[in-house]
Chains A and B, each alone.
Chain A
Amino acid sequence: MKCPEKTYEAIRYLKNILLGLLLLFVVQTADGRTAKEVFNILPGNELRIAINTGLSNNILPPVEAFLGAPQIRFGDRETQTQISFLAGSKTLFLLMEMTTPQVLAGDIGNTMPERLDADLSQEESVTLFFDPNLRRRNWQYLSINPFNQYVDGRIWSRNWKCPVNSQVSFSGNKWLLSLGIPLGEMAGKVAGEYVFGLNFRRVAVVDGDVHREYFRGNEWSCQEVGNYLPIIVSNPLSVPISRHGNNFVLEDPNSAGLAVTLNQPSGTKHEIVPVSDGKAAFTLNPASVGRDAQLILSPLAKSNLAKGSRFYQLQHYFDPISPDWGGMRLPARGHLQLWSAPLTAPIKKKTPLPEERAEKLVLSVPGGGSAGKLLMLHPEQNWQGSITLSDLTGPDGYILPASAVKLYQVEFLSVTSSPGGYSYAGKWPDPLRLYRGGTLQLRAGENTPVAISLEIPRGTPGGVYRGGITFVSHGNSEGDGNELPLPMEVIIYPYQLDVPEKAMFVCGLSGDIADFQGATGAEDLAVAQANSFKLFADYGVSPRNFLLTPDLAGEDGTLDLTGFSQWAERYFGEYNFRFLNMAELPPVGDAEAFRTLIAEKNWSNFLYYLVDRDREDRTLSLEMLHNRLPEIKILRLDGQDAPGGNRLEFINRVESSLSNANSGERFCTVSGMVRYPRPAAAIDVPHALILEYFLLAEKFGWDGLLAGAADALGRDMLLGRPDPWMTPRTRMDSGRLLGNGENRYFYPAIARDEAEKFEVWPSLRLMMIREGVNEHRMIAMFRKKLNQAVPLDSGNGTSDPRAALQKFLLSEGEKLLQEYTSGTFSADEFVINLRQREQWRDNFNWLLAELISLEQAKETE
Chain B
Amino acid sequence: MKKILQTVFLMLLTIAGQLTAEELSGDAGTRYPLGNNSGYLFRMINDHDGIELIHSGNGKIILKIVPWVLMQEESGFPPRVTYGTVPARILSSKAAAATGTYLEVNLTAEYRGSSQSGRRNYKVEYSILISKEQPVALLRCTRLIGTDSVVPRIEGFIWRISVRGESPIEYVSGKEKEFVHCRMETLNSFWLKVDGNGVFRKGEKLLEMLLLPPEVFYLEENQSWEGFGAALGIILPEADNENVEIYQDTLNELVRFSRKSSGLDTH
Contacts and interface: CB of A to CB of B under 8 A. Distances in A.
A289 to B, nearest CB: 8
Interface stretch (B150-158, B182-190, B242-250): B150-158
A645 B226 CA distance: 22
A625 B83 CA distance: 41
Contacts of A138: 217-218, 220, 223
A297 to B, nearest CB: 22
A384 interface: no
A137 interface: yes
A291 interface: yes
Given A137-B151, A157-B226, A290 B210 contact: no
Given A641-B199, A645-B156, A156 B73 contact: no
Contact of A641 (B78, B212, B214, B224): B212
B136 to A, nearest CB: 25
A156 B217 CA distance: 10
A643 interface: yes
A564 interface: no
A12 B47 CA distance: 72
B113 interface: no
Contacts of B79: 266, 290-291
Contacts of A643: 171, 173-174, 199-201
A539 interface: no
A297 B226 CA distance: 35
Interface string A279-314: 000000001101100000000000000000000000
Given A137-B218, A645-B210, A287 B75 contact: no
Interface string A158-200: 1100000000000000000000000000000000000000000
A318 B78 contact: yes
B215 A155 contact: yes
Interface in A620-661: 641, 643-645, 647-648
Interface in A221-273: 222-223, 265-267
A151 to B, nearest CB: 12
Interface in B46-72: 70
Contact of B78 (A267, A288, A830): A830
B227 A645 contact: no
A677 interface: yes
Given A645-B199, A645-B201, A157 B74 contact: no
Contacts of A267: 150-151
A424 to B, nearest CB: 14
A117 interface: yes
A516 interface: no
A8 interface: no
B150 A677 contact: no
A676 interface: yes
Contact of B74 (A156, A266, A288, A320): A266
A155 B77 contact: no
Contact of B217 (A137, A641, A677): A137
A234 to B, nearest CB: 24
A137 B220 contact: yes
Interface string A111-143: 000000100000000000000000101100000
Interface string B161-199: 000000000010111000000000000000000000001
Contacts of A157: 225-228
Contact of B201 (A154, A290, A291, A644): A644
B13 to A, nearest CB: 47
Contact of A648 (B80, B83, B217): B83
Interface residues on A, range: 20 to 34
Given A643-B199, A644-B201, A290 B217 contact: no
B214 A156 contact: yes
A182 B218 CA distance: 23
A117 B70 CA distance: 29
A291 B78 CA distance: 9
Given A266-B73, A641-B212, A648-B83, A155 B78 contact: no
Contact of A677 (B70, B78, B223): B78
Contacts of B114: none
A37 to B, nearest CB: 8
A648 B70 CA distance: 9
Contacts of B150: 267
Contacts of B225: 154, 157, 159
B27 to A, nearest CB: 38
A829 to B, nearest CB: 10
Contacts of B173: 643
Contacts of B155: 647
A136 to B, nearest CB: 9
Contacts of A318: 77-78
B77 A645 contact: no
A287 B75 CA distance: 12
B78 A645 contact: no
B18 interface: no
Given A138-B220, A156-B214, A159-B224, A290 B156 contact: no
Interface in A66-116: none
Given A137-B217, A155-B217, A156-B213, A676 B78 contact: yes
B241 interface: no
Contacts of B199: 641, 643-645
B99 interface: no
B266 interface: yes
Nearest to B155: A647
B132 to A, nearest CB: 31
A574 B153 CA distance: 52
B227 A117 contact: no
Contacts of A155: 213-215, 217
Contacts of B174: 643
A122 to B, nearest CB: 17
Interface in B138-152: 150-151
A156 B225 CA distance: 10
A267 B77 CA distance: 14
A290 B78 CA distance: 8
A158 B73 CA distance: 25
A676 B228 CA distance: 32
A158 B175 CA distance: 25
Contacts of B224: 159
Nearest to B176: A616
Given A159-B227, A223-B215, A287 B77 contact: yes
B227 A158 contact: yes
A234 B153 CA distance: 31
A137 B72 CA distance: 13
A644 B207 CA distance: 10
Nearest to A291: B79
Interface string A304-340: 0000000000000010100000000000000000000
Given A222-B215, A648-B70, A648-B83, 9 more contacts: A117-B266, A138-B218, A138-B223, A156-B215, A156-B227, A157-B227, A159-B224, A290-B77, A677-B78
12 contacts: A137-B153, A137-B218, A138-B220, A155-B213, A156-B214, A159-B224, A159-B225, A222-B215, A641-B199, A641-B212, A643-B174, A643-B200
Top 8 closest pairs, chain A to chain B, by CB: A137-B218, A157-B227, A156-B214, A159-B226, A644-B201, A117-B266, A157-B226, A318-B78
